[in-house]
């Protein structure tokens, strides 16, 4: 669905990192997720509490915030800055403006580690990044008069800013409960973006990517049901936590809706195509997330099982799959013949999601050890991704086109 049709007008520079949004943000997201998960592994497994982590109130708040508003937001930035150019034909940020936007994101990640810098400074930069990103995504959509795209994507990006604002208001003691509202709001907004893009690209990729000709079943009723049920689910979970059964019933309904859609999209031919099966497995984790969320409201499961099915499973697998696909396609490589190493990368992160979410249900006494293994599997997947994709993201397209 994301195809670059721009014809070369000049010779691209040998250093192409800031040619198009996916390049710095995918590289930054992968590097930061690796650093952040290794730090989290050290903190969680050893009890080490560095001075800077105390600025977050709890290591858990830092871990959750940075995986969503650090890693997740960077992947979203790279994807939307690239996709909006292709949807509209309007050039999105590149060169110095793109480098400045990326610097806002990067400084917001690094400055909290420097104790002499007040925490308000990275907080402002983090919020500024989301405001500027929302404007950068909206600008080409507005110029092309794509009002539906603005309603769908610009609104979600603005709400992501609001969620992050609530997190920081809670962190600074201005709004009680702001951390929970902001963090879960951020998770659900990233999930909403994943669901929206998944509806657009997953069936398209499958139809174009498998051998032979297939036509997948689509349903307007399922689309509307997914949208409205998710809106009600998020509202119930965020603003009426005292009535957990409401969110539980809505989660069960969402599981049913997406299970039907999964059945409509599934074909055994995906298993020979790593760029396809990783997306469908990630989608399967989202369905399991709704199931586990429903069970947790009945007191049958820990809510953290559902949380990590959504984050490690759905968001982790789908974002890594999309980063791999977009990076290959937008650097001029053949997405229908991807590098063989992708299977190993995707198997590692899939194994990590199983170890983090499912195995603790079977071996509760080994939960701590399983969590450590899952963190190391995440790190291994991203080390290999960086090994395979860093030069790809820095160098010009192999076909000589700009971008």
Q: Say whether pLDDT at 9 is over 80.
A: no
**Mean pLDDT to the nearest integer, 165-175:** 97
Residue-wise pLDDT tens digits, 41-70: 999 888 888 999 999 999 999 999 999 999
Pairwise CA distance, residues 113 & 53, whole Å? 8
Q: In the chain, what are the domain boundaries?
A: 14-207, 210-391
| In contact, 201 and 83? CB cutoff 8 Å | no
Residue-wise pLDDT tens digits, 202-243: 999 999 999 888 999 999 999 999 999 999 999 999 999 999
| Per-residue confidence (pLDDT) for residue 48, from 0 to 100 | 86
Residue-wise pLDDT tens digits, 297-326: 999 999 999 999 999 999 999 999 999 999
| Per-residue confidence (pLDDT) for residue 5, from 0 to 100 | 31
Q: Say whether pLDDT at 6 is over 60.
A: no
Across the chain, mean pLDDT equals 93
Please, which pLDDT band fits residue 399 given cuts at 50, 70 and 90? confident
Task: Give the closest residue to 270 by CA, choosing from 315, 208, 217.
Answer: 208
Pairwise CA distance, residues 249 & 254, whole Å? 9
| Per-residue confidence (pLDDT) for residue 387, from 0 to 100 | 96
Residue 285 vs residue 217, higher pLDDT: 285
pTM assigned to the model: 0.94
Residue 99 vs residue 339, higher pLDDT: 99
Question: What's the burial of 154, exposed, middle or buried (CB within 10 Å: 0-12/13-18/19+)?
Answer: buried
Q: Say whether pLDDT at 11 is over 70.
A: no
State the residue for tokens 């006494």. 365
Pairwise CA distance, residues 392 & 95, whole Å? 17
Task: Give the closest residue to 1 by CA, choosing from 206, 195, 273, 223.
Answer: 206
**Mean pLDDT to the nearest integer, 69-79:** 97
Residue-wise pLDDT tens digits, 108-145: 999 999 989 999 999 999 999 999 999 999 999 999 99
Task: Find the DSSP H helices in 172-219.
Answer: 178-209
Please, which pLDDT band fits residue 400 given cuts at 50, 70 and 90? confident
């Amino acid at each position: 669905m994301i195809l670059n049709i721009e014809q070369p007008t000049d010779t691209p520079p040998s250093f192409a990192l800031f040619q198009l949004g996916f390049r710095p943000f995918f590289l930054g997201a992968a590097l930061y997720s690796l650093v952040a998960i290794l730090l989290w592994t050290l903190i969680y497994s050893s009890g080490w509490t560095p001075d800077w982590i105390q600025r977050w109130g709890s290591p858990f708040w830092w871990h959750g915030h940075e995986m969503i508003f650090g890693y997740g937001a960077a992947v979203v930035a790279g994807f939307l800055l690239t996709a909006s150019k292709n949807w509209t034909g309007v050039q999105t940020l590149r060169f110095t403006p793109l480098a400045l936007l990326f610097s806002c994101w990067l400084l917001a990640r690094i400055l909290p580690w420097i104790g002499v810098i007040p925490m308000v400074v990275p907080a402002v930069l983090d919020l500024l990044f989301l405001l500027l990103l929302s404007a950068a995504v909206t600008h080409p959509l507005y110029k092309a008069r794509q009002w539906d795209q603005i309603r769908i994507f610009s609104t979600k990006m603005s709400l992501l800013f609001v969620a992050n604002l609530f997190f920081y208001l809670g962190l600074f003691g201005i709004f009680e409960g702001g951390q929970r509202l902001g963090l879960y709001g951020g998770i659900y907004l990233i999930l909403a973006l994943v669901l929206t893009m998944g509806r657009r690209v997953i069936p398209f990729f499958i139809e174009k990517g498998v051998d032979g000709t297939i036509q997948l079943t689509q349903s307007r009723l399922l689309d509307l049901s997914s949208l409205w049920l998710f809106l009600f689910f998020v509202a119930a979970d965020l603003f009426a936590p005292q009535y957990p059964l409401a969110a539980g019933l809505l989660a069960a309904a969402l599981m049913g809706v997406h299970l039907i859609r999964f059945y409509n999209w599934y074909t055994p031919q995906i298993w020979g195509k790593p760029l396809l099966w990783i997306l469908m497995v990630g989608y399967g984790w989202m369905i399991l997330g709704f199931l586990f969320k429903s069970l947790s409201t009945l007191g049958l499961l820990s809510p953290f099982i559902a949380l990590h099915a959504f984050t490690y499973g759905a968001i982790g697998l789908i974002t890594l799959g999309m980063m791999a696909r977009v990076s290959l396609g937008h650097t001029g490589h053949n997405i229908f013949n991807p590098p063989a190493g992708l299977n190993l990368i995707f198997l590692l992160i899939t194994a990590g999601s199983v170890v983090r979410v499912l195995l603790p249900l079977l071996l509760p006494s080994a939960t701590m050890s399983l969590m450590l293994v899952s963190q190391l599997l995440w790190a291994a997947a991203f080390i290999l991704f960086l090994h395979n994709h860093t030069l790809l993201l820095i160098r010009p397209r192999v076909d000589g086109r700009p971008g």
